[in-house]
Each structure stands twice: as C-alpha cells, then as structure tokens.
Amino acid sequence: MSGPADAFARAPLLLSVLHRPAGAAGLAVLALVGLAALSAGLLSPGDPLDMVALPFLWPGTDWAHPLGTDMLGRDLAAGLLHGARVSLLVGIVAAVIALGIGVGAGALAGFYRGRLDAVLMRATELFQTIPPFLFALAIVAVLQPSLTTITLAIGVTAWPSLARIVRAEVLALRDGEMVQAAVAIGASDARILLLHVLPNVLGPVLVSASILVATAILTESSLAFLGLGDPNVVSWGGMVGAGREVLRTDWYVAALPGLAIVAVVLGLNLLGDALNDALDPRRMRR
Amino acid sequence: MDPVLDVDGLFVSFPGHGRTLLPAVEDLGFAVRPGETLAIVGESGCGKSATALALLGLLPRHAVASARRLRIAGTDLAEADPQACREIWRRHRGGRIAMIFQEPLTSLNPVLTIGEQVAEAVRAHEAVSWRAARGRAFDLLRRVRIPQAEQRLDAYPHQLSGGMRQRVVIAMALACRPAVLVADEPTTALDVTVQARVLDLIAEIQEETRTALVLITHDLGVVADRADRVLVMYAGRAVESRAASALFAAPAHPYTRALLAARPRPGWTGARPRLPEIPGRVPGLGERGAAGCPFAPRCAAVLPACRIGRPDLIVLDGGTAACLRAGEFAAQETPRAAFG
Amino acid sequence: MIRTPAGRLFWARRLAQMVLVVLSIGTVNFLLLHLAPGDAAQVLAGESGSASPEYLAALRRQFGLDRPFPVQFGHYILRLVTFDLGFSHRQGLPVATLILDRLPATLLLMSASIGLAVLLGGALGFLAARRAGGLADALISGLALLFYATPVFWVGLMLTVVFAVWLDWFPVGGMRAIGATSGPGAILDIAHHLVLPPTTLGLFYMATYTRLMRASVLDVQDRDFVRTARAKGLADGRIAWRHVLRNATLPIVTTVGVQVGSILGGAVLVETVFSWPGLGRLAFEALFQRDLNLLLGILFLSSILVGVANLAVDLAYARLDPRIGLQG
C-alpha cells in the first residue's frame, strides 16, 4: 500500500483473472450474453413481444424458431436475446447507483469518522433492517414499474453492505503512512480521498461490483416475475412469470428464460470469485 | 537407565515447487532419559519446531517424515506412518508424549471452558466419566498452581492471564502422566516476569514425575541452568550436541558461540542492550543444496576448506560438533566470561 | 442479563435502535405514499379512478390528508407507534389484523427454510472442507455455486414441475389440503405441504452457508487450538465435532442475522409460487389490488421483524461465543 499507483501496478489483473478457470469461464459467459444483447436487433429484428408463429411451438420443432414459441406465439429465442439487454442494462446501472451511494457513504464515514460516521452508519443499519427486496418492491409499486423506477429501486436498496466494506477499508487506510504523509504536505481532503484513499479500495469494490450486478439482475427478474416489470420491454423474469401459467403442460416456456438468468448470474459470481482470488493471493493457498 | 526418548536418523521435508522435496530436518538424532532435560536450540527456521511436531506425529499432511528409530517409552514408531496408523499415534499423543505450545492464548479453544479442555485430555486416554475427569482436571489445575482452581474450571481462556493460560496448557499436557514432555518455546509469548515462574513450574513437575523434557528455545539463556544436554540446530542439522556443562564452558561450534554472544546479559534491566547480532540469516528450505558447511556464509571463523565439504561430526568432551575447528574451539576457555 | 450494567446498556441501546427504526421506516413509508402519482387518498384507495368522491373524502379525513404536511406526518407516525396501520378497504379488515393473521405461516416457512439451509449448508460445507481439493469438494462447491446463481422463483417452478406435476409426490401449493381434519392428521398435512416451499427458499441460502462453512472450517482447522487438541490425543471425529465445528459455526450465525431481511424477501417469491398463505402472498395480493397502504404496512412490520430477529441472533451469538458480551 505505497501509493495510488499501487492499485494499478497489478494491472495484469485481467490476465490474472483469465488465468483462473473460474475467471475465464465467467468472462466467457458474460461475453456471450453481452454479444447476445448487442446483436439482438440484428439476429431477431422487430418487437420480441409480437406474435410471429403458432403458439406452443416446442423447442427444436421449427428451425425458424429454434427455442419455440410461448402461448401467445412469441419467439422465445428473440425474447431471450432482447431480454439480455434489459437484464444487463438494469443490472449494471443499478449496480452503478449502489456503488455510488455505497462507496460515497462508506468513504465519507471512514474518512471523517466522528459524528458523520455515526449518522451514516445508523442510516446504513436502518437500510439493512428494511428487507431489500420488499423495499424495492414497494418503491416500484408506488412509482409504477418502468425501467427507470426499477433500476432506481434496486440501486437505492442494494448499497448497505458495500458501504460497510468500504468504510472498514478506508478506516484502515486513514491511519496509514500514505494518507498521513498527504495530510502532512497539506493536500486537500478531496484530493486525499480521490487520489490516495479510493484507488486503494478499488480491489474490494471491484469484487463487490460483480456481486452487485448479479444481485441486481436477480432482483430485476424477481420483480418482473411478480408482474412488476416494465410492460413495454421483454424481461427474462417476466417471461418466467408468463410461462408459469402453462407450467403443467409447456414447462419449457418458464424453464428457458430461467436458465438464461442462471447463466448470467453464475458468470458474474465466477468472475467475482476469480477477482477475489486474484486480488487477495493470501486466500489462494488452497 | 535406558532413554525414554530415542531418535535416530530423523528426516522431515516439505514439498517445494513442482515435485521437489525441501529438507527441513536432516539426519537428526538424540536421546533423553527419564528426568533428564534436553534443550534444542537454534534460530527460527532451523527445524526445531518441525522436529517437535514429528515426535508427536503432528506435522502437516503434506510433510514427509522418516526416521531410522523413533522409540518413545518403549515403542518404536519409526515404521508407523501418522496418516496410516492414526490410532497408534492417537494413543501415543498425550498419553506417552505430550506437548506444550508457544502461544497459550491461541493454543486453547476460545469457546470451551478450561475444565472441559483439561478433562477431555484425561478422557482421551482413560475411560472415566466426565465427572471423574473434571475432578482430575481440578487436581491438575491445583498441581500447576492455579489459584481458585474450582472457579477456574468454568472460566474461558480469555478470562485468564497469559501465565495462567500457559499453566492450563501445562495441566493438559500432564493429564495422562506422559513419559516425555515436549515444550516448544513455552515462555516466548509471556511477560518476562512470568517466564521464570513457568519454567520453574515445569522443572518442579519434572522433578516429581521423572518426565523426560525436550525444551525447545531460541534463547540459550533459558537453557543454561536447566538443561542436562544441549542440541544446537542449524539449517535442519545438529551442529553441536553436548552436555550442557561442557557446552557452556567451551562452545565448540562457531554458531553456538554466536548464539551465546547474541543473548542479553542476565539481570539487565535498562534500555535494550545492543546485541552483537549474527550477520545474515538462516538459509531457507530451498537454499540448502550448496556444498560446504551451511553456516560458512555467516561464520566469523570460516576457512577456505569450510566451503568445500560438509564438516563431519567431531567427538569432543561431552558430545559432538560439526565443525572443522571444533577441537580448537572446545579447547579454548569461554570467549566471554559472562556465560552460565 | 438485564441485571448487570452492561446488560442494561445493551437493552437500552437496542430499545433506542428499535424506536429509531420505527420512526425511520414510518418516514420512508410516508414519503413513498406522497411520491406516488396522484394524491395520497387515491393511492390509499387503490386503482385510482374507481373510488367514489365520498370515499376519497372519507379517506382524506381518516388519514388527515386535508391538513398541512407536517401535521400529516406527525399523525402518521403517531398512528404507527400505536400500531394503527390503517384499514384495507380491499380486504375489508384492518391492516394490522391482516398482517398478524398471515405472520405465523411466514414464520413457519422462514424457520423451516433457515433450518434446512443452515443444517444442510453447514454439513455440506464441512464435508467439502474436510475433503478440500478432492472430488467431493469439487462437486459440492460446484453445486453451491450453481444454486447461488439460481433465482428462487424459478427453482420453485422447476421443483413444482418435477415433484408436484410429474411425480405427484407433493401438493402444488397451499398450506393445507381442502377439508383437512384437525389433530395429528392436520400436522402431517401441513408437513406434506411444507416440503417444496422451504426447499425452494432454503436452497439458495444453503449455497451461501455451504460456501461460508467451507471457508470457515478451512480457516479454523489450521488454528493452534486444533493442533493442541490433536496433541492431546483426541480422536479425529471428536476434534472435528467439538473444536472445529463449534468455532466454524460462529460466522454462519452472524450471516443468518444479516440475511433475515433477504430471506423475508425470498419468502415473498416462494409464497407467490406456492400460494403459501403468508405475508409474502399478502404482499403479492396487495400489489395486484394496488392496496399500497397494506403493502407499506407489510414493509413496516417486516422491518420490525428483521430488527427482532437480529436481536435474537445477537443474543444467540453471545451465548455461543463466550468472548462476546452484550454490546450496544
């Protein structure tokens, strides 16, 4: 922990992550899903909510619709491709919001300590007491479901644990030589925080970020499953919810989008594990 | 009297990179008779602790250990692999040979009471009820001079001072009247004022029970008036093994001499004295393949010949030493008058 | 506990914390009500537009919505403190009554799920750690990773397909069969219904605890006191049970406390999938009927539930770890 450059001196982080089987597998899955999201418009142009074929076409029976169609004749493959956009978009933006609040609150609390710390930590505890999913559900229900409200609701309910992690790291750094030296030469608080403190908490934040995106995607799909999705876009969770009606006979309608969710979240968790190991070699002994 | 602990040709190695094995202890041998104290001395990294753990079959799973002879209280365990012959070793540990560890706080389970931890040591080897074991635990606590032993039975480790905790560890070690007691740096983690009392307690118990004691330490000062024999280890090998009186009168190996010179004078209470340190450090496990005496790079009395071959053991007054100039040094009077 | 000064301080602090939680969640609920599009009376009436003007006026009076903002806020908090959560016109019952009516089913589901997750997760994590690097470890760790990534509602649906539809071993949903008797038969009946829902909810947390337990055991079994136990000549099984497991469980207990809120959120999904007549199912109904006052009442009570559960976990932890006293 000798300077701000230190966090970046481990620059071949990507390489180190790729070297681990978990990291390589996670990145591969995510790259595939990212590609699906980007190419959704090309591979299946048109609105995925439109009826394009007969309903209840089982997967593999018609190669024009390789994954079949649901009870309204909507192409499942098209739904999955377009759904990837929603999942990734909501997941990433919500995680960015949570990162903003969590890192901000944690860093300020750890850096200034005292009264501000007490206030921020009480707020964090409070937010940890309100069940996050129910909270997000209430916010979306009150504000009416749309991509914006869903993303916002997930973002503002997901940050508390991150705030605690960041606070603990900053508290430890605060008394370190590096920060003390910066204080001694009269650097401003903002400068110290941005240049000396935050770069050094990048590691744990990066690990948390991948988990946050995973959690956000799970939350988004759960909200959509309950019928709190944006009605104008297709979402994996919403597809599962719709498939529930025909579960007894045509279970594939609910099963397929669920598998897509599992794949993305698994990829993110694998990436998180690999990042954790790469950044903290002490844990790699076994 | 026959030795109760008789070790010969002990090797311990740890896996290195790839398929290599790195030696931590090489060709070590020693014997201890009932009531006798053997001190094993050396800097950290010399193989003292690996030796102690090998005696109890407590080496980590990946370690490789072998011995020509490992006779403890009449049973030769050289052929019994600790992984394969678990039950043999289990009965042996704590029953015939017991160990006192360095860190009394971490050596005790934080969530079990003192009484439970001492009693389970009794029950590991004797078929007695918990109630009877608790009674024995009470006796043992009194034996190691723990005041208010009755209440202490129900105390947790964190409620005791460091010295008291170490007494508990000693009580556990004594639970089944072991023939051999191995104490690995038993006082290093304790306050200076407590150290002597704990060592006195161990000596007193040894006196009563005629237990053979293997005292492992980096501090020759601890050893001076307590050991019968001293084994000085360097880089996994015995460099000097002699009767304490002979060794302290005229140390034969330059490493022993350096260790003696590096210890604080007894009775010093002022600011930390500047000790003449031994330059350099113990070669790591992977650096021990070189020809010549392993101590040569740090030795003040090194000769060109020392760098060519490993010095053989030379028989001296009261033991042996592995140095080309051992005879010369052993004939000298103590280099500084302050020892002993 | 309450007799020592430290104990008194602990309870005083916990009480103050609880009051703070009640006030803050009241504030959050109040703000949410006012954030909703349309005026608060319409929100409370639900399905804006369908309510008659007289009904809206009555609601305004009842909730004091015709008064200035700060007075409204004061009123709202005062009512919460007296546990008056309002009236659900959709269900025709007071919100507090509705919630308390559904609470036992949710508590049953949650405790069964947590029990399953802790026991199974603990056992699997322990096994994986003892066989670290081996086939069993790889299998268990892989499975844990998979369940950790699987959405709870989807697991519920797939279990339904396999075990309720195809195999017909368990009922598709509900908590009792229609027309079920009372007595021991009823208990068996509930137990029969209580297999799939807790399994669904428990699997995700089981994955969490498996990973946690594995890491924890690996950490504990390298500690000095485990070596001491071996040096005493204790048998391997005894060391594992008494020395390793006991200490390795401590982080799990902490995590259960942290996760109570999250488990409650999962219960909403599971209860929806299995029509389990609990708080979560009630929340789902409130959602559909746009009965926001009921929804916010559930949020309020759930938060208090989490607060109480955290307190219980802290007390349990203090018993399990003698080093930890009761701290505020």
Q: Which domains does chain A have, with CATH numbers?
A: 88-269 (1.10.3720.10)
Both tokens of A70, joined, read: 């649901």
Q: Which residues of C touch A139 (CB under 8 A)?
A: 32
* Beta pairing, strands B229-234 & B212-217: unpaired
* Beta pairing, strands C93-94 & C87-88: antiparallel
The DSSP call for residue A69 is: B
Residue C224 in any domain: the answer is yes
Looking at residue B168, what is its pLDDT? 92
Looking at residue A222, what is its pLDDT? 92
The whole-angstrom separation of Cα C323 and Cα B291 is 53
All chains having 3 or more CB pairs closer than 8 angstroms to chain A: C
Question: Are chains C and B in contact at 3+ CB pairs closer than 8 Å?
Answer: yes
Looking at residue C186, what is its pLDDT? 73
pLDDT higher at A268 or B309? A268
Residue C327 in any domain: the answer is no
Contact indicator for A18, A260 with CB cutoff of 8 Å: no
Contact indicator for A235, A86 with CB cutoff of 8 Å: yes
Contact indicator for B314, B323 with CB cutoff of 8 Å: yes
Residue of C nearest to A250 (CA): C161
Nearest to A261 among C33, C148, C154 (CB): C154
pLDDT band at C48 (very low <50, low <70, confident <90, very high): very low
Question: Hey, of B61, B62, B72, B111, which one would you mutate to test binding to chain C, going by the most C CBs within 10 A of its CB?
Answer: B111
Looking at residue B214, what is its pLDDT? 93
Residue B198 in any domain: the answer is yes
Q: Mind listing the pLDDT tens digit for each residue in B319-334?
A: 888 888 888 888 876 5
Residue B280 in any domain: the answer is no
* Beta pairing, strands B21-32 & B75-76: unpaired
Residue B45 in any domain: the answer is yes
On the question of pLDDT at B40 being above 90, the answer is yes
Interface of B with C (CB under 8 A): 56, 58, 86, 90-95, 98-99, 101, 103, 106-112, 120-121, 124-125, 156, 158, 169, 172-173, 175-176
Looking at residue B276, what is its pLDDT? 59
Claim to verify: residue C147 and residue C231 sit in the same structural domain = yes
CATH of the domain at B152: 3.40.50.300
Residue of A nearest to C46 (CA): A142
Residue of C nearest to B109 (CA): C225
Looking at the structure of chain C, the number of domains it has is: 2
Q: Which residues of C touch B91 (CB under 8 A)?
A: 233
Question: Which of the listed ranges B135-139, B309-313, C18-22, C167-171 does the model predict with the highest average pLDDT?
Answer: B135-139
Nearest to A286 among C33, C165, C218 (CB): C218
Claim to verify: residue C269 and residue C317 sit in the same structural domain = yes
On the question of pLDDT at C82 being above 60, the answer is yes
Nearest to A262 among C17, C133, C149 (CB): C149
Claim to verify: residue C129 and residue C250 sit in the same structural domain = yes
Residue C117's nearest CA partner among C147, C97, C89 is C147
Looking at residue B339, what is its pLDDT? 42
- The label of the residue with tokens 């009877």 reads B132
Query: Does pTM surpass 0.90?
Result: no
Instruction: Say which amino acid occupies C188.
Output: L
On the question of pLDDT at A11 being above 90, the answer is no
Looking at residue B268, what is its pLDDT? 46
Interchain pair A251, C272: CB under 8 A: no
Residue B105 in any domain: the answer is yes
Nearest to C233 among B95, B106, B107 (CB): B95
* Residue B7, SS3 per DSSP: strand
Question: Are chains A and C in contact at 3+ CB pairs closer than 8 Å?
Answer: yes
Phi first, then psi: give them for residue B214, nearest 5 degrees. -110, 110
Interchain pair C150, A131: CB under 8 A: no
For chain C, percent of residues with pLDDT exceeding 90 = 17
The arithmetic mean of pLDDT across residues C183-201, rounded, is 79
Residue B294's nearest CA partner among B214, B232, B241 is B232
The number of beta carbons lying within 10 Å of the beta carbon of residue C178 is: 5
Q: Mind listing the pLDDT tens digit for each residue in A13-42?
A: 777 777 788 888 888 888 888 888 788 777
Claim to verify: residue C129 and residue C227 sit in the same structural domain = yes
Looking at residue B273, what is its pLDDT? 46
Question: Which of the listed ranges B194-198, C74-78, C102-106 does the model predict with the highest average pLDDT?
Answer: C102-106
The arithmetic mean of pLDDT across residues B15-38, rounded, is 88
Question: Which of the listed ranges A145-149, A275-279, C47-51 does the model predict with the highest average pLDDT?
Answer: A145-149
Q: How far is C21 from chain A (nearest CA, A)?
A: 6
Q: Mind listing the pLDDT tens digit for each residue in A246-259?
A: 777 777 878 888 88
- The label of the residue with tokens 């003192």 reads B114
The whole-angstrom separation of Cα B202 and Cα B170 is 8
On the question of pLDDT at A9 being above 60, the answer is no
The arithmetic mean of pLDDT across residues B98-112, rounded, is 88
Claim to verify: residue C130 and residue C211 sit in the same structural domain = yes
The whole-angstrom separation of Cα C125 and Cα B252 is 55
Looking at residue B114, what is its pLDDT? 92
Residue of C nearest to B59 (CA): C227
Question: Hey, of C34, C35, C154, which one would you mutate to test binding to chain A, going by the most A CBs within 10 A of its CB?
Answer: C154
Write out the residue range of the structural domain in which residue C62 sits: 5-95
Looking at the structure of chain B, the number of domains it has is: 1
Q: Which residues of A touch C157 (CB under 8 A)?
A: 240, 243-244, 247, 251, 254-255, 258
pLDDT higher at C144 or A280? C144
Instruction: Say which amino acid occupies B120.
Output: E
Claim to verify: residue C233 and residue C120 sit in the same structural domain = yes
Average pLDDT score, chain A: 81
The whole-angstrom separation of Cα C262 and Cα A133 is 7
Looking at residue C43, what is its pLDDT? 65
Looking at residue C3, what is its pLDDT? 63
Domain boundary among C58, C75, C95: C95
Nearest to C151 among A125, A126, A258 (CB): A258
Interchain pair A254, C261: CB under 8 A: no
Domain boundary among C95, C128, C154: C95
The arithmetic mean of pLDDT across residues C1-8, rounded, is 69
Claim to verify: residue C46 and residue C110 sit in the same structural domain = no
Average pLDDT score, chain B: 84
Question: Hey, of B109, B125, B182, which one would you mutate to test binding to chain C, going by the most C CBs within 10 A of its CB?
Answer: B109
On the question of pLDDT at C280 being above 70, the answer is yes
Contact indicator for C223, C139 with CB cutoff of 8 Å: no
On the question of pLDDT at B42 being above 60, the answer is yes
Residue C267 in any domain: the answer is yes
The whole-angstrom separation of Cα C12 and Cα C4 is 12
Q: How far is B92 from chain C (nearest CA, A)?
A: 7
Residue B29's nearest CA partner among B68, B78, B63, B81 is B68
* Helix spans in chain A (H): 5-9, 13-19, 21-43, 76-112, 114-129, 132-143, 147-157, 160-174, 177-184, 189-191, 202-225, 236-243, 252-279
Claim to verify: residue C118 and residue C191 sit in the same structural domain = yes
Both tokens of A66, joined, read: 């390789």
The whole-angstrom separation of Cα B22 and Cα A91 is 50
Claim to verify: residue C269 and residue C191 sit in the same structural domain = yes
Q: Mind listing the pLDDT tens digit for each residue in A98-127?
A: 999 999 999 888 888 888 888 898 888 888
Average pLDDT score, chain C: 83
The whole-angstrom separation of Cα C111 and Cα B19 is 50
Interchain pair C290, A141: CB under 8 A: yes
Residue B54 in any domain: the answer is yes
Sheet with B97-100: strands ordered across: B97-100, B180-184, B212-217, B37-41, B229-234, B237-243, B319-321, B314-316
Residue of C nearest to A243 (CA): C157
Residue C328 in any domain: the answer is no
On the question of pLDDT at A219 being above 80, the answer is yes
The whole-angstrom separation of Cα A202 and Cα B28 is 50
pLDDT band at A4 (very low <50, low <70, confident <90, very high): very low
Q: How far is C7 from chain B (nearest CA, A)?
A: 18
Q: Mind listing the pLDDT tens digit for each residue in A58-91?
A: 776 766 667 777 777 677 777 788 888 888 899 9
Claim to verify: residue C60 and residue C41 sit in the same structural domain = yes
pLDDT band at C10 (very low <50, low <70, confident <90, very high): confident
Nearest to C232 among B111, B124, B156 (CB): B124
Residue C299 in any domain: the answer is yes
Q: A240-257: buried (b, 16+ CB within 10 Å) or exposed (e) per residue?
A: bbbbbebbeebbbbbbbb
Residue B60 in any domain: the answer is yes
Interchain pair B158, C322: CB under 8 A: yes
Both tokens of C155, joined, read: 């697991």
Interface of C with B (CB under 8 A): 223-225, 227-236, 238, 242-243, 246-247, 250, 320-323
CATH of the domain at C164: 1.10.3720.10
Write out the residue range of the structural domain in which residue B63 sits: 5-227
Looking at residue B337, what is its pLDDT? 41
Interchain pair B175, C232: CB under 8 A: yes
Residue B34 in any domain: the answer is yes
The whole-angstrom separation of Cα C213 and Cα C200 is 20
Residue C202 CA: distances (Å) to CA of C119, C147, C264 = 10, 10, 12
Q: How far is B109 from chain C (nearest CA, A)?
A: 5
Interchain pair B107, C227: CB under 8 A: yes
Claim to verify: residue C276 and residue C250 sit in the same structural domain = yes
Terminal CA-CA length for chain B: 28
The arithmetic mean of pLDDT across residues B135-150, rounded, is 89
